[in-house]
Each structure stands twice: as C-alpha cells, then as structure tokens.
Amino acid sequence: MLYITGIGRTKFGALPQTLQELAYEAMYNAVMDSKLSINDIDAIFVSNFLGGPLNGQLHFNSIIASLLPGINIPIVRIETACASSSIALKQALYSLSQFENVMVLGVEKMTSKTILGTTEAIAMAADRCLDQQNGLIFPAAYALIAQQYMLKYGINHDILEQVSFINHKNSRLNPLAHFFYKDVTIETIRKSPIIATPLNLFDCSPISDGAAAIIVSKEKKSDRDIEVLSSQYVTDAISITQREDLTSFKATRLAAKKAYSEAGLKPDDIDILEVHDCFTISELIALEDLGFCKPGESSELVINGDILKDGRIPVNMDGGLKANGHPIGATGLAQIYEIVVQLRGEAGIRQIKNANIGMAQNIGGIGGTAAITILGRS
C-alpha cells in the first residue's frame, strides 16, 4: 500500500506570485503538513502544462532544482494537458518501487502572457490540424458536446446553471478557492454573456494561477495519512472528429473501470467525489461515465440534491474547476488535496459526514486523457 503523507496548495486565482513562487509555496506547505523534511524527498514529479507557450519557460524540472539549492535529486516534468498532475502522481507511484518518499507538484501561471495569448495556448491541447486550425477552441468544442447532450437527453440550460450555481456555492466555503469571495446567484449565471451557444460565461472554468503539491510514501507516517487505493489513466484519440460519441468520454469510462477493479470498489462505495468540470456539461457527463447514474440521468442527481454536501454523493466540495479554479497543471492535485482534507476530517465548515473513500476524475483536452484516483482512510 502507498500513502499520501503530506499535502499543500496555494490560493487559486489571478495572483501576484511568479511560477517559481507558486511552486515553492505549495512544496513548502506539503512538507510542513507532513512528518518529513525536504531532505527526505527522493524525487520530484512536476506537472506543468503551459510553461512554454505562456511563460517562456520549459525545462521546469531544473527550475525546481534551482529552488532547492544543494538538493540534486531526480526531478522530471510531466505534461498531458489538463490531466498533467494526476498523471504525474501515477509516475510518482511507479517510482516508489525504488524510493521511500517522493513529491508531486502541479503548478500553472496562466495570467502571464509573456509569449502567447491564453486561448491560443490552451488550444494546443487539441489536435492542431483537425481542431485548432478550424477554430475549435475549447469552449466551442464543449459547446458542441453540450448541444449533442441536450438534444439527445432533452434537457435545457437550466441544469447547467444549477451545476454552476452549486459549484460556486461550494467555493464560498473554501477560502483558497478562486471565487471564495464571490456571491453568485442563478440570476447572475443566467444573464451572463454567451461564449459559445449554449454555454455562457458561467459554464466555463476560469483562468487561474496556482499550485498544489502532495507527498507520497511507501510507509505510513501518521494517522492523518491517506491510502492510495487506485490510480489509473488511459488515453484516447485527441480530436473530437475521431470520437464515436460526443456525450460520453471513453477514456473516463475505461480508466474508471480499471480503477474500480484495482481498488475492489464500485460507485456506491465512494463517499466523496471530485469531477473535472472544465465546463458544466463535463460534470454531467462525468457522473454518468463514472457510473453514479445511467447515461442521460445525471440531471436527476443535480435536481434531487444528491451531489450536495449532505447528499448521496457530494461532488466538488472545494468548488470544482468552475469556482475553486483551474490552474491547469495543478488541477488534478487540487482535487486530490480536497479528497485528502475530507478523508482526514479536516475540511472544517465544508466537511462531509462519513468520508471514508473518495474519488477524483481529471481529464485532458476533450477527454483525450483521463485519470482516476481513488483514496481511502488508512
């Protein structure tokens, strides 16, 4: 069994810190949260998506080495679009066949536009020839998905508004969330400008800066440690033009199947869930792909209050990508941070009851990559 023995993150939002400062803060917090010192860390796995196109900075493993003078350990950078940090975690877990304690760091400085604009940079997660060059930026791609889903299952935009509303409401209990300070009403959501029909501004996750870090260890260090019950990822074709079905992500379904199997669990066993709501429609699809309801029935979970704090399966208690924020390279680790806080019983006013097993779903691009992590109380 492997254990999460330390967690740390920064505030998410449009922040004054540099890429390096964000990275340092998250690593520092993770070490301080653990029973370890930085000298106990055998290797670091860094997740960063847009350091090149946005910050003019690649070779980020060596940047991290600069932040830790005299510590010449193996450090590597992983990039798999928005799923980068969950997949960095998996590489870290592989490495524990040889190490005792390793750190996983996710960081993104998205409000910097040193080289390119943000939309142009993010579009690099889609196929350049088939999608990008035809103008299929991400809000447009997810709008096509939302159109198909709404047509197929006969729902309207009201449900998406509810998803956005619930995530924003959750973020009001999370001081580190991008929109912690912001009261958002259904009225505000409904009246927000259209980005790509049917998606409006409040269907879209924000452009956030931020970092998160966790330490994983071969041995348990304290009663606050959380067990890694499963970590699985799979890939699928990158372009939306290569998919059989736009209303479900094959990569999520396959990764979830493997993860449930590895952990010996089923959806009913999950007490708390974090899903990748880069756009509101993505949350509905995730609930179905992960097996929490049948295809087309996730609206009912939303309407019935099942995904609320005291519901059957509380979802995105930190506010999700929508309201906690989406600093891309850090997003998967932020989901894991929230699950760990909840399973430890340290979530304060947003603590759910009976949190024994939690799951996080983190996807890259338009579902080209999907990573599932299942954690349990040790």
Catalytic positions are 82, 326
The CB-of-20 to a copy of itself minimum distance in angstroms stands at 9
Exposed (0-12), middle (13-18) or buried (19+): which is 145, by Cβ within 10 Å? buried
**What is d(CA 358, CA 360) in angstroms, rounded to the nearest whole number?**
7
Q: Which residues of 364-377 are buried (b: 16+ CB within 10 A; e: fewer)?
A: bbbbbbbbbbbbbb
222 binds a copy of itself (CB under 8 A): no
Residue 115 near a copy of itself by CB under 8 A = yes
Residue whose CB is less far from a copy of itself, 32 or 71: 71
* Closest to 242 in 3D by CA, of 365, 97, 87, 357: 365
| Total residues at interface with a copy of itself (CB under 8 A) | 62
Answer yes or no whether residue 39 interacts with a copy of itself by CB under 8 A.
no
Measured CA to CA, the distance from residue 220 to residue 100 in angstroms comes to 11
Stretch that binds a copy of itself, among 21-29, 72-80, 318-326, 349-357 (CB under 8 A): 72-80
* One of 31, 238, 307, 334 touching a copy of itself (CB under 8 A): 238
Give the separation between CA 94 and CA 74, rounded to whole angstroms. 14
Q: Is 37 in the site for a copy of itself (CB under 8 A)?
A: no
- Other residues' Cβ atoms within 10 Å of the Cβ of residue 134: 13
Q: Which of 233, 249, 279, 337 binds a copy of itself (CB under 8 A)?
A: 233
Cα three-residue angle 315-318-322, rounded to 5 degrees: 85
Q: How far is the CB of 299 from a copy of itself (least distance, A)?
A: 28
CB of 133 to a copy of itself, least distance (A): 9
Helix (H) or strand (E) holding 142: helix 138-153
Stretch near a copy of itself under the rule CB under 8 A, chosen from 65-73, 179-187, 206-214, 312-320: 65-73
Q: Is residue 114 part of the contact set for a copy of itself (CB under 8 A)? A: yes
Q: How far is the CB of 369 from a copy of itself (least distance, A)?
A: 5
> Can residue 65 be called a binding residue for a copy of itself (CB under 8 A)?
yes
Given candidates 17, 40, 73, 220, which one binds a copy of itself under the rule CB under 8 A?
73
Does 75 sit near a copy of itself (CB under 8 A)?
Answer: yes
Nearer to a copy of itself, 132 or 192 (CB): 132
CB of 301 to a copy of itself, least distance (A): 27
Q: Which CB, 128 or 266, lies closer to a copy of itself? A: 128
91 binds a copy of itself (CB under 8 A): yes
3-state helix, strand, coil in the chain (%, to 5): 40, 20, 40
CA–CA separation, 72 vs 89, rounded Å?
Answer: 20
Q: How far is the CB of 306 from a copy of itself (least distance, A)?
A: 29
The one segment of 113-121, 283-291, 331-339, 351-359 that binds a copy of itself by CB under 8 A: 113-121
Candidates 16, 72, 349, 354; binder of a copy of itself (CB under 8 A) is 72
* Angstrom distances, CA of residue 278 to CA of 59, 85, 202, 225, 273: 27, 15, 11, 29, 15
Half-sphere exposure of 53 toward its Cβ, with a 13 Å CA cutoff?
A: 16
**SS3 assignment, position 160:** helix
58 or 186, CB closer to a copy of itself? 58
The DSSP letter of residue 259 is H
Q: Decide if residue 236 touches a copy of itself (CB under 8 A).
A: yes
| DSSP 3-state of 111 | coil
CB of 65 to a copy of itself, least distance (A): 4
132 binds a copy of itself (CB under 8 A): yes
Could you tell me which of 278, 280, 288, 264 has the C-alpha nearest to residue 374? 264
Which helix (H) or strand (E) element contains residue 148?
Answer: helix 138-153
Minimal distance, residue 95 CB to a copy of itself, in Å: 5
Three-class SS string for 9-60? ECCCECCCCCHHHHHHHHHHHHHHHCCCCHHHCCEEEEECCCHHHHHCCCCH
Q: Which residues of this chain interact with a copy of itself, rule CB under 8 A?
A: 49-53, 55-66, 69, 72-81, 87, 90-91, 94-95, 97-98, 114-116, 121, 123-128, 132, 232-239, 242, 250-251, 254, 364-365, 368-369
